Amino acid sequence: MIKQAKVRATAHTNIALIKYWGKADVSLNIPTTSSLSMTLDKFYTTTELSFDASGQDRLILNGEGTDATRVKGFLDLVRQKTGQDFPGLLIDSQNHVPTAAGLASSASSFAALTGALVRLLDLPENDREMSRIARIGSGSASRSIFGNFAIWNKGHDDASSYAEPFYDEDIGLSMIVAEISQKEKKMSSTRGMQLAQKAPSYGAWVEKSARQLKEMKSAVQAHDIEQIGLIAQDNALGMHEQNRLCPEPFDYFIDETRQVLAFTEACYRSGLLAFATMDAGPNVKIITDKASETELLARFKNEFPNMAFEIAHAGGGLSYD
């Protein structure tokens, strides 16, 4: 039963403190590890969804018609899974995510689309179900249904793999995003994961990740930014190590990445809270706290005068207007 002709939903992007980097099932995005993320207050996608007169699925991104292949694949899977053969949709999305800053918009995009879809089709607005649907679009989108800190439990099949809120509070963590390169990433996450999973050391990273998740949960509950930073940094650098150690090695790091990482370490040695995390690209997100962010940002701007920086905090969560 269709109750509304047009729905608008907003979802925010998230950064994993314990990463998702590997799939047990590629078509359903069942991961090899559970992951824990912070949803960001500042960066989001708003999606307006309606039925398209053409009967086809169409995508408009930031006002321009765009290739809808990936989104159509997602919608077809949802048609199949829900048994609802809904007609073609017009997806009109505005991304307030600086893709130039290496922040993936797929998380906020698929979470916003899922939220809008569920309401448009009058499906149950159940967070767990929405997280499972968003996961099929993009793994990290499962976590963007929620604000603040969320855990995506890896599960073992479509029913058991979903994210849920872990800690619904801003604990004073700041992320300084260093915009190192605006170039399109040369290796997609999906392909990068496939290659990295063949590293001889991958199993050890997966095992370590499970231990780090437990430690990270305690650190978030204790609002211990230093522990959070140390664990997140180790987990992210370990993830990137798998990319270098697999039979077809590749690397998201570029020279400026290494410079920013080295400067982050130097700031920590000098007594400031400063830790790095990185995703499927050369950009670095620096973890610090609200008390240190102004001084740390000034130091980075002084050291890298040609680089742009953004600061984000915890927040977000799926919303409608």
Minimum CB–partner distance for residue 19 and ligand 2P0 (Å): 4
Bridge partners (DSSP) listed for residue 40: 314
Minimum CB–partner distance for residue 32 and ligand 2P0 (Å): 11
Of the candidates 168, 150, 127, 170, the one whose C-alpha atom is nearest the C-alpha of residue 213 is 150
Residue from 61, 90, 104, 276 touching ligand 2P0 (CB under 6 A): that is 104
Residue from 32, 108, 189, 197 touching ligand 2P0 (CB under 6 A): that is 189
CA distance 100 to 102: 5
- Decide: helix, strand or coil at residue 40: strand
Beta carbons within 8 Å of 258's beta carbon, 6+ residues apart? none
Q: Compare residues 8 and 42 and give the one whose CB is closer to ligand 2P0.
A: 42
- Decide: helix, strand or coil at residue 50: strand
Task: Answer whether 12's CB lies under 8 Å from 148's CB.
Answer: no
DSSP-derived letter for residue 305 is T
Minimum CB–partner distance for residue 127 and ligand 2P0 (Å): 18
CA distance 148 to 103: 17
Residue from 179, 256, 279, 310 touching ligand 2P0 (CB under 6 A): that is 279
Window of 16-24, 79-87, 153-161, 295-303 that interacts with ligand 2P0 by CB under 6 A: 16-24
- Supply 112's token pair: 């916003």
Of the candidates 290, 26, 28, the one whose C-alpha atom is nearest the C-alpha of residue 173 is 290
Task: Answer whether 281's CB lies under 8 Å from 239's CB.
Answer: no
CA distance 220 to 122: 36
Q: Compare residues 49 and 213 and give the one whose CB is closer to ligand 2P0.
A: 213
| 29 near ligand 2P0, rule: CB under 6 A | yes
Task: Answer whether 205's CB lies under 8 Å from 239's CB.
Answer: yes
Question: Which of positions 190-219 make contact with ligand 2P0 (CB under 6 A)?
Answer: 190
Q: Compare residues 19 and 313 and give the one whose CB is closer to ligand 2P0.
A: 19
Q: Mask 218-237, x = binds ligand 2P0 (CB under 6 A)? A: --------------------
Q: Compare residues 217 and 299 and give the one whose CB is closer to ligand 2P0.
A: 217
Minimum CB–partner distance for residue 261 and ligand 2P0 (Å): 16
Window of 117-125, 134-142, 157-165, 303-311 that interacts with ligand 2P0 by CB under 6 A: 134-142
Task: Answer whether 200's CB lies under 8 Å from 185's CB.
Answer: no
Q: Compare residues 242 and 264 and give the one whose CB is closer to ligand 2P0.
A: 242
Of the candidates 85, 75, 52, 193, the one whose C-alpha atom is nearest the C-alpha of residue 134 is 75
Which residue sits closest to ligand 2P0, CB atoms considered? 139
The contact set with ligand 2P0 (CB under 6 A) reads 16, 19-21, 29, 35, 104, 106, 138-140, 189-190, 279-280
